[in-house]
Structure 1
């Protein structure tokens, strides 16, 4: 079937509506029972500039004008990742196996090469049509992640409260929404570097230049999308340093599923149970102050045994696996 692809340089309301239509249909079909993003969420994601590069967007239609697929290509510009691109591709389930996915993939691969990229990565859920689609291409599985979910209506509230109430001599907790307080922002930037920049599953992570300016700009992106970024940090009482932190992003409507973002403990402060403490304190805060939030979802590489154990101890249960595929674009 003949298809037409538009590069969306400044997406219109109608184009954003069509994008949302494809995305929700694909997610509803491939991940039944999972929440789908609202049209406002999708518009904010597509139109808010990224802190780590720029994004190219394509929308595919059939001859009747119906939207049949989308592709978003992230071109990173950070040191160590300037040769990397990341792709999100969705095909409408009612129009699959008609060539839209292949055409969008070829378009994105060509654009990545034209922009000097040597590697392209993308993620899909194991066992879905997207997984089978990529397995037949030249992509190589690079990193498998297990997604875990904590439902508040079935968690052990008393156990969470006990962990959150533990005493950790030499440390205290600070919590903030949005941008880190001025007194902590430089230390928070240093702690951000503890997430590491080495390869993960052979995928280069690069060097993210975390400083106060970068922290502010990254935090402001969530605000522009209407999302709420909440951080709990462990502070060393001796010197006021940020010893570790955990971040959670709450949807714009303050309801449903919150997403766990980074959790990290600075190397010199590890071995004191700070990760578990911070995460339990975050859960206690969310359940007390945001009654519309019903669950938290997070992901871990299977070889990250320490964080897997922490999440399991807090009541997170595995719900699905995703795999990151890598395509070499080197000639």
Structure 2
């Protein structure tokens, strides 16, 4: 049946292309991830058309015999030093059109592109015990990282307990926060703190490292703003001016009820003082005050990241699904 499938590389993404892509994503997520809200059409269009930081994208649309979209593949090719060996894949097929060879055709195009771009590592995420996981296992991907996804329901929050944590004194530290781009006076300190993410658990993923500086943190915030999303940050600053840690929340464009946890990190020299819990409790308090339409926060942690899982459980996060990160070691052309 795959002879009736046509693959189209997408270069200049049209509104019709974005609509077709969204239809495949929404159908796939409804089948494989019930209860997980799919991105809206505007989010999909922004993701496909707005430049990403230190990377570029390739995209393919699979069309069936009747001309309707049945599958999509997006490939993010990282370009910064330390990650220019890496590509990240999104591959989805409409559940009604599976087992016709669409996924295999898309993956073949992706692997060929990885070879042409000299990428040795291709990573993809799939829900645990899903068709995507089975697809990866049958095609020489190896499981490299297990993730636990958690939800915090803000309408079921023990607000008194969270407020107590958020208002606890931490001698030598103060909280600050901002929306969007970091203030100039904190940019260098924030970049230094960002580098603490390089020791987060990544299992066996060949994920490389990121070297953050003030220009890069500003550029990342601009990428998010250009997509129409909102980035909130709360940070802990030491009396000596160093940024000891931070936590970030992303609010998708529109009036999304579910916020996404981005980074949370504490610089190694400042660990052991309860700053991670303090920061996250302060962010919850901020969300409740500034964005009452947000009713839940989703986060994910490596299953062996016992410290951050303990922090999240203490705040009231509860596990609700699991995913797996798979890696394909791409052979040289």
1:126 corresponding residue in structure 2: 128
Q: Are 2:305 and 1:304 equivalent residues in the alignment?
A: yes
Distance 1:217 1:13, change over 3 A: same
Match of 1:317 in 2: 318
Per the normalisation by structure 2, the TM-score is: 0.97
Report whether the alignment pairs 1:209 with 2:247: no
Partner SS state of residue 113, structure 2: helix
Count residues with an aligned counterpart.
330
Aligned residue for 1:175, secondary structure, equals strand
In structure 1, the residue matched to 2:221 is 219
Q: Distance in 1 between matches of 2:201 and 2:302?
A: 13
| Cα RMSD, aligned residues only | 1.2
2:54 maps to which of 52, 55, 60: 52
8 Å contact kept, 1:197–1:205: no
Contact 1:229–1:247 (8 Å) recurs in 2: yes
The reply to whether residue 326 of structure 1 matches residue 290 of structure 2 is: no
Residues 147-177 of structure 1 show CA distances to partners (whole Å, capped at 9, x for unaligned) of 0110111121111111001010000000100
Residues 198 and 210 of structure 2 are in contact (CA less than 8 Å); yes or no, is this contact kept in structure 1?
no
Contact 1:197 1:206 in 2 (8 A): no
Shift of 1:199: 7.6
Find the counterpart in structure 2 of residue 242 from structure 1.
243
2:138 to 136, 139, 157: 136
User: Cα distance, 1:208 vs. partner?
Assistant: 1.5
> Residues 9-88 of structure 1: matches in 2 within 5 Å?
9-88=11-90
Q: Which range moved further: 321-330 or 76-85? A: 76-85
1:283 aligns with 2:284: yes
**In structure 2, what is the Cα distance between the partners aligned to 1:329 and 1:225?**
31
Distance 2:309 2:199 in 1: 20
Report the 3-state secondary structure (helix = DSSP H, G, I; strand = E; otherwise coil) of the residue aligned with 1:196: helix
1:177 aligns with 2:179: yes
Contiguous gaps of at least 5 residues in structure 1:
none
**2-structure distance, mates of 1:118, 1:135:** 18
